[in-house]
Homo-oligomer: A and B are copies of this chain.
Amino acid sequence: MLQDKFRLQIPGPTPVPPRVQQAMAQPMIGHRDPDCSRLVQECSRRLQPVLGAREPVLPLTSSGTSALEAAVVNTVSPGEEAAVVVTGAFGDRFAKILKRYQVQLHRLDLPWGEACPPETLASFLKEHPGVKAVFLTYCETSTGVLNPVEELAATVRQLTDALVIVDGVSCVGAVPAKAEAWGIDILVTGSQKALMLPAGLSFAAVSERAWQVIEKNPQPRFYLDFQAYRNHLEKDTTPFTPAVSLLFGLREVLDMIEEEGLEKVFQRHRLMMKMTREGIKAMGLSPLTSDEAASPTVTAVQGGKSWSPEDLRKELRRLGIRLAGGQQHLKGKIFRIGHMGYHDPLDILAALSAIEIAGVRIGAPVDSGAGIKAAEEEWIQCTEF
């Protein structure tokens, strides 16, 4: 196939827009230079509406997992109790980090592909009244589930004084996130998903209530110490040399989001989700999650008895499109389509076409053309685009 032309449609890293690439290629500046201070200040403030943050967002130079770890080491210490809602591989990662730091862990495991109902969390919290923090996953990347974090946060707030900590890595920037309004104490995300950047930056919005816990928490931390980031952000800088080129890119990304309009960005992602799901169903395949639990950023599709998702992905690669496989026990059993960030509805039609072609070729029970038709109809009916 045409060399160097391929469509990256995995749930992150996502494609980087050309103007963001260009912005990142600006001449390097010193990290203590006034130009860099303006850059840090601008990025941390303009991210506030994206996360729904009360105060400027803390920018860490590291990938998403470090922000999960930061949320842990800043808030809980060994022996304290914490609850984790595990709906897939990234809820499980929170659990792994907590366990590594000897936090007394209460795991609420749900079947992979399902979202956590607020009632289930409520019962669970009643059984564990001692928890100091509840760790949630907004979009569970491994299954394409969007957990109802607004309701889950409200449930926690109603029943306990525990902090509400949310991993928003694979959806913030593509779906509404209102950390302060929803009572989320820490919301973290990363650069390489809906924010259309390469990996290397992660972000945290921290509530006043969380700061009170953080200030008293004896758990040692240095590079991931939120207080160091807040103290330096007050002087428009970072405690350690930041990934300046990614900050140049972030400023451009924020321009793009503001030009399109945050609400429109969300609508575009919802349309891409609907087109993907209706297309997949109409061609004869089955999404892993229900419509109600589905994330606007990633869709997982189940494999069948007569065909393997890995064979499908291999064939898709030949056609010029790269999708993701399953993680942990879903490895070989699903494939995942990322539809977040620098993607538009036409990309979805191309992806669905490719899946139809590859599906027929590998002998999957796929009805060629039917998926595209259903997806087009979703778009035709959509009044916003």
Residues of A within 8 A of B (CB): 4, 6, 8, 10, 12-16, 21-22, 24-25, 27-33, 61-66, 69, 96-97, 100-102, 190, 192, 198-200, 220-224, 239-246, 322, 324
Are the C-beta atoms of B28 and A25 separated by less than 8 Å? no
Are the C-beta atoms of B12 and A200 separated by less than 8 Å? no
Are the C-beta atoms of A13 and B241 separated by less than 8 Å? yes
Q: Which of B13, B62, B66, B240 contacts A244 (CB 8 A)?
A: B13
Q: Which of B6, B65, B101, B244 contacts A220 (CB 8 A)?
A: B101
Count of this chain's copies in the oligomeric assembly: 2
**Given A16-B245, A65-B241, A101-B220, 8 other A-B residues pairs in contact with their CB atoms under 8 A:** A8-B28, A13-B28, A15-B27, A22-B25, A61-B199, A100-B222, A190-B241, A200-B243
Are the C-beta atoms of B30 and A324 separated by less than 8 Å? yes
Q: Which residues of B contact A200 (CB under 8 A)?
A: 61, 200, 243, 245-246
- Taking the closest CB of chain B, its distance from the CB of A314, in whole angstroms, is 11
A243 CA to B63 CA, complexed, in Å = 8
Are the C-beta atoms of B97 and A222 separated by less than 8 Å? yes
- Taking the closest CB of chain B, its distance from the CB of A335, in whole angstroms, is 13
Q: Which residues of B contact A12 (CB under 8 A)?
A: 241
Q: Which of B97, B223, B244, B246 contacts A65 (CB 8 A)?
A: B223
Are the C-beta atoms of A64 and B198 separated by less than 8 Å? no
- Taking the closest CB of chain B, its distance from the CB of A128, in whole angstroms, is 22
- Taking the closest CB of chain B, its distance from the CB of A288, in whole angstroms, is 19
Nearest residue, chain B, Cβ from A66: B223
